[in-house]
């Protein structure tokens, strides 16, 4: 009975996902905006932006460095979650998937569940909200912009043909749990984050000069 229920759910998911993709391709058919959204949720892009924010932005509020540190931790736990679960689930990408994602680990990324973009977007949104509530940074407008961005990126994954609907739903749930875990157990203290940044920056500079 369980196998039958899972098979029925999977078939429903495939039909709905294909219908969304087919509708977008027939009615709009512009994949360039979807590709741009894909890059805004790419893990490599987020690692570079977070590291740049943490180390290169000077004289920011302490909460800013704490938020950047939390996002770095969240990105790392997100990567761990995806690398572990995708090979275990081994769900294939939609047959109409336009091709591999650039700068991705193909041995893992060839699988569909969960959507790494969905886990990442949900995690980022959760930690940004945590930053707003705890560190009073970023602004409320930026929090809402992050929520809108996350929803748009998740929707675009189905419209582009990268994922099924349930890949997105599962990914968003895992990403939200990841954000709760990081904010609860691994978050940086705003008062100590600037000192940590200065220490790490000094270590990096000394290491570079020795070479």
Alpha-carbon Rg for the chain, nearest whole angstrom, is 19
Count helices and strands (H / E) in the chain.
9, 0
d(CA 211, CA 161): 46
Q: Which residues form the catalytic set? A: 117, 163
Asked if omega into 114 is within 30° of 0 (cis), the reply is: yes
Partner residues linked to 92 by β-bridges = 111
For residue 39, give every residue at least 6 positions away whose Cβ sits within 8 Å of its Cβ, in sequence order, or none. 45
CB-CB contact of 71 with 45 (8 Å): no
* Residue burial 10-25, b: 16+ Cβ < 10 Å; e: rest: eeebeeebbebbeebe
């Amino acid at each position: 009975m369980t196998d039958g229920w899972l098979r029925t759910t999977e078939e429903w998911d495939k039909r709905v996902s294909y219908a969304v993709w087919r509708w977008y391709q027939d009615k709009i058919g512009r994949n360039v905006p979807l590709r741009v959204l894909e890059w805004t949720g790419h893990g490599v892009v987020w690692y570079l932006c977070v590291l740049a924010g943490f180390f290169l932005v000077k004289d920011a509020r302490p909460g800013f460095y704490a938020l950047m540190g939390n996002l770095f931790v969240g990105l790392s736990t997100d990567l761990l979650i995806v690398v572990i679960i995708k090979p275990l689930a081994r769900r294939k990408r939609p047959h109409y998937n336009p091709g591999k994602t650039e700068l991705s680990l193909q041995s893992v990324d060839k699988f569909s569940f969960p959507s790494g973009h969905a886990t990442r977007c949900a995690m980022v949104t959760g930690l940004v909200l945590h930053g707003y509530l705890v560190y009073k940074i970023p602004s409320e407008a930026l929090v809402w912009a992050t929520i809108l961005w996350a929803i748009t990126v998740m929707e675009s994954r189905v419209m582009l043909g990268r994922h099924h609907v349930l890949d997105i739903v599962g990914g968003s749930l895992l990403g939200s749990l990841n954000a709760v875990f990081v904010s609860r157990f691994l978050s940086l203290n705003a008062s100590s984050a600037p000192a940590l940044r200065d220490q790490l920056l000094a270590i990096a500079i000394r290491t570079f000069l020795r070479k």
